[in-house]
Amino acid sequence: MVVGLLGNESSDSNRLTLVTPKSENDVRLQATLDNQNPTGLPVGVVRKKVFLLKLKKILWNLLVLLIIGYVGILAYQNISQYQRFKVNGQSMNPTLKDGQKLIMKKFQKNDKLHRGDVVIIKVTLKDKEYDFIKRVIALPREHLEIKNHKVYINGKYLEDEGSTMGEEDCVIPDDSIYVMGDNRDHSLDSRKLGTMKISKVVARKVIPEKKL
């Protein structure tokens, strides 16, 4: 070890300072630390800050992925609620044309039907099941009458377009609805098939421009 003497030219000439020169490795290590840590903060503090920054970045990326996944699930659920149908026949003229393609919302167990809703309903004819598209005319527990080509619900005239063929006088069961096509003279519906179970409804489409 080399001892260096630093003399003070002041009157306090007896004060001596011992200095131990750094080795070459110490000098290189200090230079490396200075280059990597220009802030001058202790290495432990710098490492903690770097760790927190990396952790923040990881958590942020994870949050973004969770949001994207959540939005994707919502979009899938929304899309899966709808189904494509194609009109076959003239029974819903002039509202819906033969061959017209529709996107209708699937009917869920807790959904409620309203008068005027256009629905897709399963109908069995000669042991074969068909999808009928009709309009809801009467709801559960309502009294329906068809007389003199007019429809009455609970004694009140239902103002719809055109005349209605047939005669009817019935109370709709709790679990059923009464449906008809808009083209009254060319529609196979509840006037011949009777009331239909709500459980047979598979989809519905509310038509704002034609409310009953």
More confident residue, 82 or 151: 151
117-125 β-sheet, strand order: 82-86, 101-106, 201-206, 117-125, 128-138, 176-180, 196-197
pLDDT, position 194: 94
Instruction: For tokens 């039907």, name the residue.
Output: 113
57-65: average pLDDT: 89
Q: Are 173 and 196 spatial neighbours (Cβ–Cβ below 8 Å)? A: no
Tens digits of residue pLDDT in 72-108: 777 766 667 788 888 999 999 988 989 888 888 889 8
pLDDT, position 188: 93
pLDDT, position 212: 36
181-207: average pLDDT: 89
CA atoms within 13 A on the CB side of 18: 4
DSSP 108: P
Q: What angle do CA 200, 119, 153 make, to 5 degrees?
A: 95
* Rg of the chain over all Cα atoms, to the nearest angstrom: 42
Banded model confidence at residue 66, pLDDT cuts 50, 70, 90: confident
pLDDT, position 48: 80
Is 134 in the active site?
Answer: yes
More confident residue, 44 or 199: 199
Tens digits of residue pLDDT in 132-145: 999 999 999 999 99
- Strand 117-125 and strand 201-206: pairing? antiparallel
CA–CA gap between residue 165 and residue 150 (Å, rounded): 8
Q: What are phi and psi of 104, to 5 degrees?
A: -120, 150
Banded model confidence at residue 190, pLDDT cuts 50, 70, 90: very high
* Selected catalytic residue, list 23, 134, 199, 205: 134
- Residue-averaged pLDDT of the chain: 80
CA atoms within 13 A on the CB side of 47: 4
Is 91 in the active site?
Answer: yes
Q: Residue 107 to residues 83, 99, 131, 153, 203: CA-CA distances in angstroms?
A: 10, 22, 14, 24, 4
Q: Are 142 and 151 spatial neighbours (Cβ–Cβ below 8 Å)? A: no
pLDDT above 90: residue 32: no
pLDDT, position 177: 97
pLDDT, position 37: 54
More confident residue, 69 or 24: 69
* Selected catalytic residue, list 91, 176, 187, 190: 91
